[in-house]
Structure 1
């Protein structure tokens, strides 16, 4: 059982709840405590889990990571008009080996996803995304991973797995069930040309920091197609946190990263979420509160999911067909939400990864571009990946 891997929330965080308004989140969620034990997961939609593992951080100096300040900050926030039931399941401690911690994270993710509960991990080093991803091996589906990060984290796959190479390991390790990897917010000077070229060769999506901040809504279609969304706190400018967390003069501001987290939450498809590379220091209140607000926005997004039925045969979509050269692009506009999709065709004589027609989320601008005889780049990459 997953509770075998989980330590209860610290008494300090539990005691803080007693000081809060009765409508605060701390008094409305189910908490794994020493006194009350493991909470009932019936009707729970989101489960928070801390993971105290950071040994694969190349800058690790033996320090431990604690999430008490994040919990105190999160508990004292007021929920919106939410109907979503949340549980805080406590922490996964460091195992005897890093692989032991990976096994715990993989088991927890697999169990919760099967129960239609979204695991929300707060962690140390970002290599913890690897066991999150591997938990989907038994779910018989191709996986789309979105990483909000200044780096691609492809790394050198000939070396042991670490926090800047976990994506490379995901790509090369069997079983191969990664369909798409998207990076949001990369900064070119943090990524080698080899990594940039590899992203192009694999038809993965990458969005530069400046382009995303200029149009934050461009994130929404990417999130709508994601199964796993993870955030590296190194993508946030250090003035928004503390210089203990990072020495990053450029990055997302607090309101931008919260908007991105909300887009992740509102996606009907996202089934696991994580915030990683959190570090403790003596003046961490600002960083802890920002993480708490990122969690809040993700959960608000989940609360407002539309659970849209993508069966285009049911008449809930308006269909637009746009001829471009030898192609006919088929767009669909939802009558319910006015969101847009474009169809990735199934080609019967090829070994298609998706095995069927698939709808790729897009924007109204993508439709207008198609009308102007410009094939959307995400459609082109998705089709190429399907044919490889």
Structure 2
């Protein structure tokens, strides 16, 4: 995924004047050692050999030693592991349309992390493994993996009827000291890959609900492939997170043409022609199954708190404040840091490498696949990120 949707969200947030209401922090670049805190060192070495720089391909389905979906580095797992050095229990909530199986697998046996995933689970929809209510974790982590599968066409009302009672019960029985919430925009109506029917208000209601518990909350982006909808959603959810009301009319700015199809409004109409396969009976049955599992969870575990290796994390060493700058554009920073090669030249060079690989393959009788380009490694803002150019359409 190219970073355009991320830049669109940042620019829209700036256009609404929300940046002045936040203390912005810039993280230090992650080291190989940081990333190897979860990922296999050989896999990190493979990524290290790839160039150039970009951002936007960390995500919830990446595994320890391999990429999955559009995700190459599981920055969410790395974030949670960092939080575990300061909090006894961390809750992960995922409202992306895809099952957050990478994060779930990473902590499946832990009694200090609970993962809750609300996702579409239909035949042929990625990922098809697990993700059912009966998949509740293992060992010490039993009943600390919560899965809420949905069929196509889930609307705001059905989502609310699942999300709010389930998350209320989760907060009651697990009593987290910190929350990490992944707000993937592919559960919105009219997404290019997802098949749900949430409005921006319905999606943001989940953010507001978790904010209401007054627990430290880390909000993250995620999937989302209709980029104007994603940017509008993340802008609105930023306003919800900081308690600001913003107008529905989108301010004039460099990307406002992308919002023409939605009348230059933050909100756009949901698809009235999309059938909702989530019947009242299905929603009730799913909710009851999940709540029964949560009732099996003992009272919040008494966990001995141990300092992480190397002692406490110094927040001032991780972050440094910078004064607000209206002209601080993440795309410009990306282009400055790429330096070595402009994007078109890089893609041409990548294609040449693939053709050379295919030629070598024919000559050697091997089995390289020249039609699938290599992922592209980039570093930015405290995480390792990858772009992937293997698809006809780059989002």
Superposed pair shares fold, TM > 0.5: no
Higher relative contact order (CA 8 A, sep 6+): 2
Normalising by the residue count of structure 1, what TM-score does the alignment of the two structures yield?
0.44
